[in-house]
Chains A and B, each alone.
Chain A
Amino acid sequence: MSDHEYVPKSKFGKWFNDRLPLLTLASHLTDYPTPKNLNYWWTFGGILSFCLIIQIVTGLTLAMHYIAHADLAFESVEHIMRDVNYGWLIRYVHANGASMFFLAVYIHIFRSLFYGSYKSPREIIWIIGIIIYLLMMAAAFMGYVLPWGQMSFWGATVITNLFSAIPLVGEGIVNWLWGGYSVDNPTLTRFFTLHYLIPFLILGLVVLHIWALHIPGNNNPVGIDVKKPSKDTVPFHPYIVIKDAFALLMFMIVFAFFVFYSPNILGHADNYIEANPMVTPAHIVPEWYLLPFYAILRSVPDKLMGVVAMLSAILILAALPWLDTSKIRSAVFRPLYKQFYWILLADVLILGYVGAMPAEGLYLLIARVATAYYFIHFLMILPILGFKEKTIPLPLSITEPVLGGFPNAAIVKRKESLD
Chain B
Amino acid sequence: MSEKKPERREFLFTASYAVGAVGVGAVVWPLVDQMNPDASVKALASTEVDISSVQSGKTITVLWRGKPVFIKRRTPEEIAEARAVKMKDLKDPQKDEDRAKDPEWLVMVGVCTHLGCVPLNDKGDYNGWFCPCHGSHYDTSGRIRKGPAPSNMQVPKYEFVNSNTIKIG
Contact = CB atoms under 8 A, between A and B. Distances in A.
Interface of A: 154, 157-158, 160-162, 164, 175-184, 186, 190, 277-284, 298, 300-304, 306, 358-360
Given A182-B67, A359-B134, 6 more contacts: A157-B116, A180-B65, A190-B35, A277-B66, A280-B118, A303-B148
A21 B35 CA distance: 43
A99 B130 CA distance: 32
Interface in B60-82: 61, 63, 65-68
Interface in B1-53: 32, 35-38, 41
30 contacts: A158-B115, A160-B116, A162-B115, A175-B37, A176-B32, A176-B35, A179-B36, A180-B65, A181-B37, A182-B67, A184-B66, A186-B35, A186-B37, A186-B38, A190-B35, A277-B68, A277-B118, A278-B63, A278-B68, A279-B118, A280-B117, A280-B118, A281-B132, A283-B132, A284-B117, A284-B133, A301-B148, A303-B150, A306-B148, A359-B134
A298 B134 CA distance: 7
A334 B117 CA distance: 47
Interface string B87-114: 0000000000000000000000000001
Interface of B: 32, 35-38, 41, 61, 63, 65-68, 114-118, 131-135, 148-150
A157 B63 contact: no
Nearest to B117: A280
Contacts of B132: 280-284
B116 A179 contact: no
Contacts of A360: 135
Contacts of B41: 179-181, 184, 186
A157 B131 CA distance: 14
Contact of A161 (B36, B37, B116, B118): B116
Given A157-B116, A161-B116, A306-B148, A278 B61 contact: yes
Nearest to B131: A280
A359 B131 CA distance: 12
Given A180-B41, A181-B41, A359-B134, A303 B114 contact: yes
Contacts of B32: 176
A202 B115 CA distance: 29
Given A157-B117, A282-B132, A284-B133, A180 B148 contact: no
A277 B69 CA distance: 11
Given A179-B41, A180-B41, A278-B68, A158 B117 contact: yes
A177 B35 contact: yes
A302 to B, nearest CB: 7
6 tightest Cβ-Cβ pairs between the two chains A and B = A182-B66, A181-B65, A161-B116, A161-B115, A280-B117, A158-B115
A278 B32 CA distance: 30
Contacts of A300: 148
A374 B12 CA distance: 53
Contacts of B133: 154, 158, 280, 284
Nearest to A277: B66
Contact of A302 (B37, B61, B66, B148): B148
A278 B118 contact: yes
Contacts of B35: 176-177, 179, 186, 190
